[in-house]
């Protein structure tokens, strides 16, 4: 009996330990995992580069802006179509140049002050006038010629040309009474990480860069308060650690695990793997000739990459099928145009004209272009060897693997490549200064094609002021007048089908010029604990992602599982487990008391 009681006590201790807050070796709670409230903890590898919406450039940063701030018009969960957010309705004039937005009443910022048309007008006007803000949001606002607020709940914007972008204005609405105190000279260095004021569905409570970001739910949110108390974005540096964290219940969701890591989790009890269609692509990018917007050369890129024939040869030397098979393990498809196929009506594909993997043809192109192989097998022209630097990202295992494959293929055509791995923050700085030859990265493409197309325009190259170089959105420094004309043309076409034709022409132009070597469109895996949370909303509804959406649909709808939901998933709910453990502990206590009483009774009898 004593042995069985000891086993029961040990089992109870183990069960209780499994339900406790995960702890570090010294017994302190792991940052960002405290469970005193209903917390939903997402593990992710990409850190937020800046909580300042005028400065951040990575996807994780834009996720934080979606949480903290509101936008005029959103994208539906079903199919990304325009849906009311701050603007509950809108209309446009017959000529398509005047847009009137009618705001919701009673929306308040987190400091209790009401959000009105003045804040909307201020946010858009600053995006036009402020250099830092305009570098971030210029593609949305540069066509806007006049912004007025005729009353507290109406905003009128006039445009130079008719523009479909007026339904896709991804400009966060900031409180004028806060941001007007941060002038143009200070805004670029403003951290915005201490009690930022916003009207969004969540509010930043705590930020520790490189560790976690904790957001509390805005229980008065006008689109419906979240059913959780807080959302935590916890940063990981290793895929395996992220996988283990979701398996052992330290976190509730692991975001963007590579296929080799998430595939073994499929079918595990308590875990769901959502292998979602996504709107991102990976590319090999070139330094086509780094320069500022006024044409001043910058950086130290290899001059041979200005030669389209060199880029064309490299493009033929990349085996996309192998990358899809070996790196992302068939969780994606080979890429062509810069608008992914999830946006089916806007996506362009070259069809029969798609460039094939052909090392012999790549070698022939370089031979014809005058790049002769030396005794060491490396090609050169005019005394300049084709010896390139390539940067991959430390946050992405697939980036590093892609770079290794590409390096080995390029060696087969007489091009030497040295691969270096660096953080995304450091790579962003390097790219803006033009201090690279090749790099591997990608883009997450918005539902409206305008921003993605704008990245390749001449006006998005770097700028220089007082000797300081500031990066634009262009990372290849591609600049072509004909492309710019196509970009400008699509901005003025209201009819979606007619606009799509021009959007496709622009993509074809980029493909023909080898502005990028497009690699693949990748799926994104959301791995979550189905024994803890339910109510996720996919975007798009047909096989879409559950986190890092164009909206906050999942975050506002997830809730702890009920007993029935957990049982349906093949497991017991936490509440039931707790009840069982408590019951076991009570029974153990009763058993111990009975044993003691019996021993005392026996001792008394002996006396």
How confident is the model at residue 37, as a pLDDT? Answer: 82
Q: Which helix (H) or strand (E) holds 133?
A: helix 131-141
- pLDDT for residue 413: 98
Pairwise CA distance, residues 205 & 195, whole Å: 7
Confidence bin at 36 (pLDDT 50/70/90): low
Residue 17 has pLDDT above 50, yes or no: no
Q: Is the pLDDT of residue 357 over 80?
A: yes
Strands 384-385 and 379-381: antiparallel
Cβ-contact 43, 60 below 8 angstroms: no
292 — pLDDT class (breaks 50, 70, 90): very high
The answer on pLDDT for 485 being more than 70 is yes
Q: What is the DSSP string of 269-290?
A: TTEEEEEEEEEEEEEEEE-S--
Q: Is the pLDDT of residue 581 over 70?
A: no
| pLDDT of 215 above 80 | yes
pLDDT at 466: 86
At 443-474, the pLDDT tens digits run 999 999 999 999 999 999 999 988 899 999 99
CA 145 to chain centre: 31
- Amino acid 35: pLDDT: 53
pLDDT 10s digits, 414-449? 999 999 999 999 999 999 999 999 999 999 999 999
- Dmax over Cα atoms in the chain, in whole Å? 111
pLDDT in tens, 155-171: 999 999 999 999 999 99
pLDDT band at 562 (very low <50, low <70, confident <90, very high): confident
Residue of higher predicted confidence among 193 and 601: 193
Q: Is the pLDDT of residue 98 over 90?
A: yes
Q: Which residues pair with 75 in a beta bridge?
A: 82
Strands (E), 412-506: 416-422, 438-444, 463-465, 468-470
The residues, any chain, with a CB within 8 Å of residue 180's CB and separated by 6 or more, are 122
For 345-369, give the DSSP string. TT----GGGPPPP-HHHHHHHHHHT
The torsion angles phi and psi of 28, rounded to 5 degrees, stand at -80, 150
**Average pLDDT, integer, range 574-581:** 43
Q: Please tell me the least confidently modeled range out of 12-16, 19-23, 212-216, 367-371.
A: 12-16
Phi then psi for residue 439, to 5 deg, are -155, 160
Is it the case that residue 606 has pLDDT exceeding 70?
Answer: no
pLDDT for residue 11:
35
Between 587 and 546, residue with greater pLDDT: 546
Q: 299-348, pLDDT tens digit by residue?
A: 999 999 999 999 999 999 999 999 999 999 999 999 999 999 999 999 99
* pLDDT tier for residue 599 given thresholds of 50, 70 and 90: very low
Percentage with pLDDT > 90 across the chain: 85
Question: Binning pLDDT at 50, 70 and 90, where does residue 555 land?
Answer: very high
**What share of the chain has pLDDT > 70, as a percent?**
87
Q: How confident is the model at residue 263 (pLDDT cuts 50, 70, 90)?
A: very high
Confidence of residue 563 (pLDDT cuts 50, 70, 90): low
Would the pLDDT of 181 be above 80?
yes
What is the average pLDDT across 268-283? 96
In tens, the pLDDT along 496-544 reads 999 999 999 999 999 999 999 999 999 999 999 999 999 999 999 999 9
- Give the lowest-confidence range in 29-38, 54-63, 82-91, 419-428: 29-38
**Confidence band, pLDDT 50/70/90 cuts, at residue 218:** very high
Average pLDDT over residues 390-401: 95
Residue 83, C-beta contacts closer than 8 angstroms, at least 6 positions apart: 73, 74, 75, 76
Q: What is the pLDDT of residues 297-312, one digit of tens each?
A: 999 999 999 999 999 9
């Amino acid at each position: 009996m004593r042995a069985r009681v000891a086993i029961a006590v040990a089992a109870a201790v183990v069960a209780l330990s499994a339900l406790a807050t995960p702890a570090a070796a010294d017994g302190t709670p792991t940052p960002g995992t405290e469970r005193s409230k209903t917390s939903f903890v997402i593990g992710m590898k990409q850190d937020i580069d800046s909580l300042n919406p005028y400065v951040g450039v990575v996807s994780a940063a834009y996720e934080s802006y979606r949480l903290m701030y509101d936008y005029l018009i959103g994208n539906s969960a079903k199919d990304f179509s325009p849906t009311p957010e701050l603007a509950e309705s809108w209309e446009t004039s017959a000529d398509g140049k005047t847009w009137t937005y009618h705001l919701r009443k009673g929306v308040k910022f987190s400091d209790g002050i009401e959000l009105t048309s003045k804040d909307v007008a201020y946010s858009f006007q600053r995006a036009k006038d402020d250099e830092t803000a305009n570098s971030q949001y210029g593609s949305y606002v540069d066509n806007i010629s006049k912004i007025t607020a005729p009353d507290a709940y109406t905003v009128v914007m006039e445009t130079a040309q008719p523009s479909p972008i007026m339904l896709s204005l991804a400009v966060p609405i900031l409180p004028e009474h806060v941001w007007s105190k941060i002038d143009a000279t200070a805004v670029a260095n403003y951290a915005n990480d201490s009690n930022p004021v916003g009207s969004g569905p969540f509010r930043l409570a705590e930020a520790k860069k490189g560790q976690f970001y904790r957001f509390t739910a805005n229980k008065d949110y006008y689109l419906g308060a979240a059913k959780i108390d807080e959302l935590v974005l916890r940063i990981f540096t290793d895929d395996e650690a992220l996988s283990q964290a979701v398996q052992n219940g330290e976190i509730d969701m692991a975001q963007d695990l590579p296929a080799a890591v998430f595939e073994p989790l499929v079918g595990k009890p308590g875990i769901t793997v959502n292998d979602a269609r996504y709107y991102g692509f990976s590319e090999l990018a070139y330094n086509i000739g780094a320069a500022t917007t006024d044409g001043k050369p910058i950086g130290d890129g290899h001059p041979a990459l200005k030669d389209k024939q060199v880029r064309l040869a490299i493009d033929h030397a990349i085996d996309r099928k192998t990358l899809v098979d070996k790196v992302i393990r068939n969780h994606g498809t080979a890429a062509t145009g810069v608008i992914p196929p999830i946006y089916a009506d806007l996506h362009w594909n070259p069809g029969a004209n798609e460039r094939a993997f052909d090392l012999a043809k790549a070698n022939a192109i370089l031979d014809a272009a005058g790049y002769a192989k030396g005794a060491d097998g490396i090609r050169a022209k005019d005394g300049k060897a084709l010896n390139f630097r390539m940067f991959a990202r430390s946050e992405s295992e697939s980036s590093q693997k892609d770079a290794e494959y590409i390096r080995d293929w390029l060696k087969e055509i007489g091009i030497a490549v040295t691969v270096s791995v660096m953080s995304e923050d450091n790579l962003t700085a390097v790219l803006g200064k033009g201090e690279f030859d090749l790099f591997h990265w990608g883009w997450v493409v918005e539902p409206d094609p305008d921003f993605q197309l704008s990245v390749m325009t001449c006006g998005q190259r770097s700028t220089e002021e007082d000797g300081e170089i500031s990066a634009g959105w262009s990372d290849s420094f591609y600049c072509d007048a004909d492309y710019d004309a196509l970009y400008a043309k699509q901005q003025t076409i209201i009819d979606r089908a007619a606009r799509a034709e021009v959007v496709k022409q622009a993509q074809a132009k980029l493909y023909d010029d080898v502005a990028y070597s497009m690699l693949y469109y990748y799926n994104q895996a959301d791995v979550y604990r189905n024994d803890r949370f339910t109510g996720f909303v996919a975007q798009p509804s047909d096989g879409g992602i559950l986190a890092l959406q164009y909206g906050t649909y999942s975050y506002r709808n997830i809730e702890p599982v009920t007993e029935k939901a957990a049982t349906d998933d093949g497991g017991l709910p936490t509440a039931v487990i707790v009840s069982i453990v408590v019951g076991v502990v009570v029974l153990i206590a009763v058993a111990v008391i009975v044993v003691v009483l019996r021993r005392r009774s026996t001792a008394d009898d002996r006396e």
